[in-house]
Structure 1
Amino acid sequence: MASARCAHCGATLEPNTMYCLGCGQLILPGAARDEAATGWAPPPRPPRPAAPAAHVSAPVPVAKGWPDRVQLTFSTGQRIAVAGAAVIGRKPEQTAVNMGAQAIEVADDTRSMSRVHLFLDLGDGELRVGDAGSSNGSAIERGGRRIPLPGTGERVTVLRGDVLWVGDVRVEAAPL
C-alpha cells in the first residue's frame, strides 16, 4: 500500500489522521496525495538563509545576587547591617549565640513577632530566610503577592526587590 503525503509539506501521513505531524496542516478528506498513483513529490525547500553575524559588544553589568553585607530596614524604624547568619525576633540572643549568628532584636509593640522568629543566611551571593516556627508566621512579598514561608525553618531564597514580613513587621533588604 502506498503512503499518503501531506499536500502542503509532503510529509508522510499517518492513517486516519486529521493533522499533518510535519507541519500541523489540517488534512481535508481527499487532500492527501498518493505518491505512487500520481508520482507527486514535495517541492524542494529553499535553503535556509544564514544567520546574521552576531554583534559583539561589552557585556552589560546586571545586578545579580547579594553582596557580603546587606542593610535591613524595619517598619519599626530600625536599620541593621547584616553579614553572614542572623536570627531575628523580640529576644533572639540565646538562639543566636547557640547558632553562632548575629542577634537582631526588633522592638515590636504589637507582639506579632515571636522571641525567635526568622533565620537569615547571607553568603555566596544568596540571601536565604526561614521561619523559626513562629506563631504569626513569616512571608516574602514578591510582585505584590505574599508567599508564606514554611514554619519548619526551611530556607527560601530572597530576590532583590522582595519584601520580608516578620509577623506584622515589614523588612526591606538592600545591598551595602
Structure 2
Amino acid sequence: MSVPEDLGDLEATRISPAHLPPAKKVRLTTDDGAERVVEKAVVVGRNPSSPSGEVLFVMKDDTRSVSKTHLRIDGTGEELLVTDLGSTNGSTILREDGSRENLVPETPMVLPAGARLTLGDRTLSVERVQ
C-alpha cells in the first residue's frame, strides 16, 4: 500500500495574478492640436453628452459647424468604429488617397488606418496607441 503524498491544505486556494489583455488605447488629435488618449468609447462634439457613460471629448468650434453631440468613436474592439450621431453638418472619412466617404447617421463604419474625420468645418485624426 502506497503512502499518499502530502498535498498541503486542500481548502486553500492559490492566488494567481490576473492576465487581462491590455486595454486598447486611441489617440484623438484635432486640427488645432488638442489631443487626448482614451481607453473607452468616446463621444465627440462641441458640448457632448452621453447617457451610456462614454468618455466626452470637447471639440472647440467658434463657427458652430460641429454639433453639440456629433460623433462616437469606439476603439475597444479590433477595429476603430465611427458613428455619426445625427449631426447637423455630418461627418466624413478622409482616406489617405484623398477619397471621401460620408458617414450614414447612426450607422457604425470602420475607420481605415491613416484616415481622418471631418466634423463640420473641423478635422480629427484618430490612431491606435501601443
Q: TM class by shorter-chain length?
A: 0.7 to 0.9
Larger RCO, structures 1/2 (Cα 8 Å, 6+ apart): 2
- Which of 34, 45, 56 is the matching residue for 1:78? 34
The equivalent of 2:47 in structure 1 is 91
Tell me by how many angstroms 1:175 deviates.
Answer: 2.2
SS in 2 for 1:123: coil
2:79 is the alignment partner of 1:123? no
TM-score (norm 2): 0.77
2:104 is the alignment partner of 1:147? no
Residues 88 and 105 of structure 1 are in contact (CA less than 8 Å); yes or no, is this contact kept in structure 2?
A: yes
Residues in 2 aligned to 1:146 and 1:168: alpha-carbon distance in whole angstroms: 15
For the pair shown, the structure with the greater C-alpha radius of gyration is 1
SS in 2 for 1:173: strand
Supply the RMSD in Å over aligned alpha carbons: 1.3
The equivalent of 2:112 in structure 1 is 159
2:61 is the alignment partner of 1:108? yes
The equivalent of 2:122 in structure 1 is 169
Tell me by how many angstroms 1:173 deviates.
Answer: 1.5
The equivalent of 2:13 in structure 1 is none
Which ranges in structure 2 are unaligned for 5 or more consecutive residues? 1-22
TM-score (norm 1): 0.57
Tell me by how many angstroms 1:170 deviates.
Answer: 0.7
Aligned pairs, how many? 106
Deviations 1:113-154 (A, max 9, x none): 000000111122211001111111001011201100012x11
Higher helix share: 1
Runs of 4+ that moved beyond 6 A: none
